[in-house]
Amino acid sequence: MTRLAVPKTYKLYIGGKFPRSESGRTYEITGAGGDFLANAAQASRKDARDAVVAARSALKGWSAATAYNRGQVLYRIAELLEGRRAQFVDELVRSEGLTERRAAAVIDTAIDRWVWFAGWADKFAQVLGNGNPVAGPYFNLSVPEPTGVVAVIAPQAGEGHSLTGFVSAVAPALVSGNTVVVVASRSAPLSAISLSEVLATSDVPPGVVNVLTGSPAEIAPWLASHADVNAIDLVGAGALDWVQLQIDAAETLKRVLQPEDGPGAPAPTLARISAFTETKTVWHTKGLL
Amino acid sequence: MTVDGSGARVARRAGSAGAGGALELLDGPVTDTTLRRYLEGIPGVDAVGLEQRAAGLATRSLKTSSKAMALDRVIELIDLTTLEGADTPGRVRSLVAKAITPDPSDPTCPRVAAVCVYGDLAAVAVDALGPFHAPRARAAGTSGIAVAAVATAFPSGRASLAVKLADVADAVAAGADEIDMVIDRGAFLSGRYEQVFEEIRAVKEACRRPDGEDAHLKVILEVGELVTYDNARRASWLAVLAGADFIKTSTGKVASNATLPMTLLMLEVVRDWHRLTGEQVGVKPAGGIRTSKDAIRNLVTVAETAGEEWLRPSLFRIGASSLLNDVLLQRQKARTGHYSGADYVTID
């Protein structure tokens, strides 16, 4: 007996919920061979606006969590990814057209990178922070603090971009306590949405990660010009008019990371963590009164 | 719905036509009995129909130029409010500064209708407003900003009448142009309608100023504590009969505040009163209106129920504090073409 196929509708992930696009639009996701895979929500500027509101309201709690706690929460995601390995392999095979072996290697990389970044959560402050020498009886301490709401245009091409690229762009922003609005790969958003299902069932508070699917060309300008977004990571914006996006971002003094191409991009570096931190320097008297 | 289809009972409000509080009420003098006969004779509210009507009005969507006009109108109708135990003169002064200049980056931004503070801070608000205070501004030919003070043992209303009247007289003497009183919900719920009626009348008397001008009286029904729509409608009629210039939904201090169906219900009462007597009574939803969307839904409801002529500060107000910032963000979005953020409006 033949069964009727039950294709999954992939929705957005905003504020811990999975809404359809406010606009009601969807678009077809096709596999590497052009075959129909699924319908995904096509986010509008208003979905981006809602996502920024969700990210803003989650910022207070996430940035105030202890570094150790954030590390644990991020590590937990890696554990859950491991448990869902088969689903991610299947989606990578179907959407990016990888062999099962290559797909398994991609998810290994994604999990390893997630663990690597999780480990930095309670360590990056030691590396990026400093006790400064000053000519007086004071402690002078510089500590990195999260920038705020970070918009990310996730990588749009390259082997494993839909998972490894996504993870490598999102995780470093989360480490220091930022909250994220990320525009997933347009052609292969399945892994990103499945990852958000992992996030929803892990210990990540709602709104800390918000995932939009659809056209980066349509959404990115709204995020770049949004006054309530503090930084924008243009890693996957190489095919867009990213110079204009930078100009828009400059209007509201955002931190900007430029597009990055190549296999495995973006590379996992401490610089990606430090890019979305602000250095706070405090003076404190040494003497006991 | 017109409560009185026959038109035979024509009520004249207390104090109107300068008759010294005379009330040609219904069928006899104002007593618990006659009030109960009248108020409890009002047909019950069709709750499902009311909520459906409100939900239907809430789907109305305003775009582009009409939205821009609606946003400006919302600002003009706001009673910018701070009613915290921790209020200080400094906080009231900063509230007043915001009322005068809501958006420093945009000189075309209109001013709010009034600032609403506790009675003891009314003098601070009057002083801070200076030439922008409504009476002085009117003398100079502009509209200005009024000072509204809550009184009568706000928010509970649990004090003796003498204390409540002293509270009102104090606020009026301090220069308040509008008094927001609370009704005695306990008396209303136990059926002592006459007591509530007489209290409103007494407060209305206390609102008189020596110079002959009256402070406008807003009567807070605190619908969250009246529980049912039927009670809210009766209380609205009671307040209107007793001479309220405005009926106001709530104090903002209890869990259930100004819902759209409740505002709709009160608007129906003032509409019916207008049809019955030709007098116009205002409505003020307060508490829980935080977004521009909510506020615009209220405007739509007013226009569709009482009529567009109600959309002016003398007949409709929105009591709010955080709403103003949301409206300013929307205006900035319309002006600049990109989304704005909380860093671009003042903290309150």
What is the tens place of the pLDDT at every residue in A101-160? Answer: 999 999 999 999 999 999 999 999 999 999 999 998 899 999 999 999 999 999 999 999
CATH, domain A9-285, list 3.40.50.300, 3.40.50.970, 3.40.605.10, 3.40.710.10 = 3.40.605.10
* CA-based max dimension of chain B: 63
Q: Which residues contact B214 (CB under 8 A, 6 or more apart)?
A: B204, B207, B208
Confidence grade of residue A279 (pLDDT, cut at 50, 70, 90): very high
Confidence grade of residue A90 (pLDDT, cut at 50, 70, 90): very high
Q: Residue B2: its pLDDT value, please? A: 44
> Which of B249, B185, B184, B243 minimizes the C-alpha distance to B215?
B243
What confidence tens digit (pLDDT) does each residue in A20-66 have? 999 999 999 999 888 999 999 999 999 999 999 999 999 999 999 99
Q: Is B149 helix (H, G, I), strand (E, B) or coil?
A: strand
Q: Which of residues 317-336 of B touch A (CB under 8 A)?
A: 332
ipTM of the modeled complex: 0.86
Alpha carbons B150 and A45: distance in angstroms, whole number? 42
Residue range B104-133: mean pLDDT, rounded: 95
B contact test, residue of A50, A228, A232 with most B CBs within 10 A: A228
Nearest CA to CA, how far is A221 from chain B (Å)?
A: 9
Confidence grade of residue B19 (pLDDT, cut at 50, 70, 90): very low
Catalytic residues of B: 180, 248, 284
Domain B26-335 listed as CATH 3.40.640.10: no
Q: Is A211 helix (H, G, I), strand (E, B) or coil?
A: strand
Beta-carbon separation of A228 and B340 below 8 A: yes
Confidence grade of residue A287 (pLDDT, cut at 50, 70, 90): confident
Q: Which residues of chain A make contact with B343, given a CB cutoff of 8 A?
A: 227-228
Beta-carbon separation of B343 and A227 below 8 A: yes
Residue range B316-325: mean pLDDT, rounded: 95
Inter-chain Cβ pairs, chain A and chain B, closer than 8 A: 27
Q: Which amino acid, one-letter code, is at B59?
A: T
User: What residues form DSSP beta bridges with A146?
Assistant: A277
| pLDDT at residue B301 tops 70 | yes
What confidence tens digit (pLDDT) does each residue in B183-242 have? 999 999 999 999 999 999 999 999 998 888 899 999 999 999 999 999 999 999 999 999
Contact between A47 and A38 (Cβ < 8 Å): no
Q: Order the strands of the B78-81 sheet from edge to edge.
A: B282-284, B246-248, B216-220, B178-182, B146-151, B114-118, B78-81, B318-320
- What pairing do the DSSP bridges indicate for beta strands A138-146 and A130-131? antiparallel
Output the average pLDDT for chain A.
Answer: 95
Beta-carbon separation of A228 and B341 below 8 A: yes
A158: left (phi over 0), alpha (psi -120 to 50) or beta: left
Domain residue limits, chain A: 9-285
What confidence tens digit (pLDDT) does each residue in B145-192 have? 999 999 999 999 999 999 999 999 999 999 999 999 999 999 999 999
Q: Which residues of chain B make contact with A225, given a CB cutoff of 8 A?
A: 337-339
**Residue B40 carries which DSSP code?**
T
What is chain A's length?
A: 289
| pLDDT at residue A289 tops 60 | no
User: What residues form DSSP beta bridges with B148?
Assistant: B116, B178
Nearest CA to CA, how far is A285 from chain B (Å)?
A: 31
User: What residues form DSSP beta bridges with B338?
Assistant: none
Residue range B120-146: mean pLDDT, rounded: 94
Q: Which residues contact B5 (CB under 8 A, 6 or more apart)?
A: none
> Which of A98, A111, A90 minimizes the C-alpha distance to A37?
A90
Q: What is the CB neighbour count within 10 angstroms for residue A84?
A: 16
Confidence grade of residue B23 (pLDDT, cut at 50, 70, 90): low
> Which of B194, B202, B217 minimizes the C-alpha distance to B164?
B202
